Structures are given as structure tokens and as C-alpha cells.
Chain A
Amino acid sequence: MSKDRVSRRQFLSYTLTGVGGFMAAGILMPMVRFAVDPVLKAEAAGEFVATKQKVADLTNEPVRVDFTYKQKDAWYESDVTESAWVYKDDAGKIIALSPVCKHLGCTVNWGSDKAHPDQFFCPCHYGRYTKDGTNVPGTPPLAPLDVYPFKEKDGYLYLGKAKPRKEA
């Protein structure tokens, strides 16, 4: 019987090793995460989401294209819907702009200001952007609209993560 008995000292040392192990894991885990994270992030940034927009249907008039992807907030996963303003420029190149105003984040619309039918307009503080997304000086926004990287696959438009441009 006394053979199996764990002495006080043994008990303590087992327990401490256990606790220490946990603590070490606690310290190491975030370090591992840090080390791995950039890779994961880069992958996420390279992800393109399918839209319902056919590339062939795009004209030089900006249209709103909605797309949905999954986003995780702590344990809560939800569908996020984002939009883009998409058109073909004079050279026939596709331009996909983020609708998020660079002032304080309202959603901008194409041509909704009667006085400037060929600009993007922000209804919140009357910010304006030219068709290529450049902010109009004298209106509140201080930077051009973000740009979505895009891809064409089977005739459909795929959008990536919107990126800021350099200041105009």
C-alpha cells in the first residue's frame, strides 16, 4: 500500500510540473500563433469571392455589385455582405471601387447628387469623388476610394479585399 502512496513531496512536484506545463503552453501558444499568423493572413487576403456579376455585362456606367462572405467575430460566425461600384473605364479596363466613404465610412452612391451626376456622392457630409474614385478637394474626404482587386472566372467577376490607394 505504501508503495503506491504518493508522498507529499512527490505530489507537490507532480502538481507543479503540471501547472508549469500549462503555464508554458499558455506562453507558447500565442507565440506560435504570432509566428503562424502572417501566413494565414496572407492567405486570407488572397481570397477572392464570387459575385453574380457577368464581366461581359459591365459597361462604362458604374453598377453596384453585392457579394457575401463569412466573417468570424470571436466564436460568432456571420455572413457579411459588401458592395462594390464596378465599371469599365475608357480603355475597357475594369474598375471596382469600395463604396465606403473615406471620411467617416458612409456608403457612397453613383450620381445621386443632381448637381454632379457623374460623380460618387456621400449623403452624410456631402463628400464627392470623381468616377475614378479620386476625392474632390474641398469636400470632407481626404483620400480616394479604396480599390478592389478582381479576377475573372468563367465569365463572372470575383472580388478580393479592398485596398487603400495613395493619396490623390
Chain B
Amino acid sequence: MKWISQDVETYLTAKEYVDTAVVPLYPVSLGEGMKQSAAAVEFITLLTAYLEKQFTGRILLFPPFTYLDSEQWDNILSDIHKWEDSIVASGFKHIFYVTSDLEWRSREDELNGTLIWLPSIPLEHMNDSQKLTMIDSQVKQIITIFTQKWHKND
């Protein structure tokens, strides 16, 4: 389900089935890294939207957790921990983070959820069907990470 009123309404009536929160992690850079930051956001947005389509009934796709890349990591981590606490407190059993920011790879252990890191693929020169094929193949790999995690707990 998406973070739109209609889906959230469904979520509220079917909470016991929707036990997985998906949170995209978006770094924002200005200046030199701006273009790369935009490309990464574009890629992760498309990818998480496609993921949501596969798992509509079991995941809630959160609005992205967005941070300045110049921010201190201590602050970023303490913010994300606040998100984690509220998400868990509201009844979600699983949290998945999706990002292409390399920084998170070395901080994976500090997260309470599962980190899915993917190198950002530039979409700007692709046509729609190329995008679809590419995203589809990426998501296929991710899907098993979800189903395995669920399987362990179901």
C-alpha cells in the first residue's frame, strides 16, 4: 500500500495483514553531487513503486526518509532510530530500507530493519520499456529477500 489516504484507509482495516514497512532512504546533496542525488532518488522511487505493486497487500510504502548528505551521521542515525521506534510501536513486524546511498552499507548493523542496497542505475537515457525491464529484473532479486524473511516468521 502507498502513503495515500485511500490505501492508508485500507491499511487501517487490514492491519494484521500488512506487517511490513518499506522506507526509502534518500540522501540530498546540493552543488556537485546534486545530479547524482537526483538520479538516485529517481531510481529508488521507481523501484519502490514497482515493489509496492508486487506486494501491495503486505507492505506499506512510507514517505522517504530524507537527509542532507552533509549532515552528521550521528544525527541521521538518531533520527532513523526514532522512525524505527514509532514504526515498531505501531505494530509493524518487519522494516525494509531501500537505498542506493553507499554509506548505509557500513552502518547496516546499526539499523533495526533489513537494508536493501542497490547501485543506482541512471534512467535518463532509457525509454519506458527499457526502464520496466531493468526495474523488473532488479525487483525480482529483491522479492526473494522479502519472501524469505516472511517465511521465517510466518
**Do A104 and B132 form a contact, CB below 8 Å, given A123-B143, A123-B147?**
no
Does A106 contact B56, Cβ atoms closer than 8 Å?
A: yes
Write the chain B residue with the least CB distance to A124: B58
- Nearest-Cβ distance from residue B131 to partner chain A, whole angstroms: 9
**B113 at interface by CB-CB < 8 Å:** no
B150 — which chain A residues lie within 8 A by C-beta?
123
B55 touches A106 (CB 8 A): yes
Q: Is the interface of A mostly helix, strand, loop or mixed?
A: loop
Q: Does B109 contact A (CB under 8 A)?
A: no
Interface presence of B53 (CB below 8 A): yes
- The B-contacting residues of A in range 119-153, CB under 8 angstroms, are 122-126, 140
Interface flag for A68 (CB, 8 Å):
yes
Q: Shortest beta-carbon distance, B151 to chain A, in Å?
A: 9
A53: CB under 8 A from chain B?
A: no
In the complex, whether B73 has a CB less than 8 A from a CB of chain A is no
Q: Which of B10-18, B30-38, B61-69, B94-102 contacts A (4 or more CB under 8 A)?
A: B10-18
Number of interface residues of B (CB under 8 A): 19
Find out whether the CB atom of A106 lies under 8 angstroms from the CB atom of B57. Answer: yes
Tell me whether A125 and B58 are in contact in the complex, defined as CB-CB below 8 angstroms, given that A81-B132, A104-B17 are known contacts: yes
Residue of B nearest to A140 (CB): B17
Q: Is the CB of B128 within 8 A of A101?
A: no
Q: How large is the interface on A (under 10, 10 to 19, 20 to 34, 35 or more residues)?
A: 10 to 19
Question: What residues on A are CB-neighbors of B10 within 8 Å?
Answer: 104
Q: How far is the CB of B61 from chain A (nearest CB, A)?
A: 13
Q: When chains A and B are docked, how far (Å) is the Cα of A149 from the Cα of B18?
A: 31
Contacts of B128 in A (CB 8 A): 68, 79, 81
Question: Would B54 and A107 count as touching, CB distance under 8 A?
Answer: yes
Name the one of B1, B55, B57 contacting A103, with C-beta atoms under 8 angstroms.
B57
Please tell me if the beta carbons of A104 and B18 are within 8 angstroms of each other in the complex. Answer: yes
- Which B residues lie within 8 Å of A68 (CB)? 128-129
Can you give 6 contacting A-B residue pairs, CB < 8 Å?
A81-B128, A103-B57, A105-B1, A106-B54, A107-B55, A107-B56
Which 7 residue pairs spanning A and B have beta carbons closest together? A104-B57, A105-B56, A124-B58, A106-B57, A124-B57, A107-B54, A105-B57
By a beta-carbon cutoff of 8 Å, the part of chain B in contact with chain A is 1, 10, 14, 17-18, 53-58, 128-129, 132, 143, 146-147, 150, 154
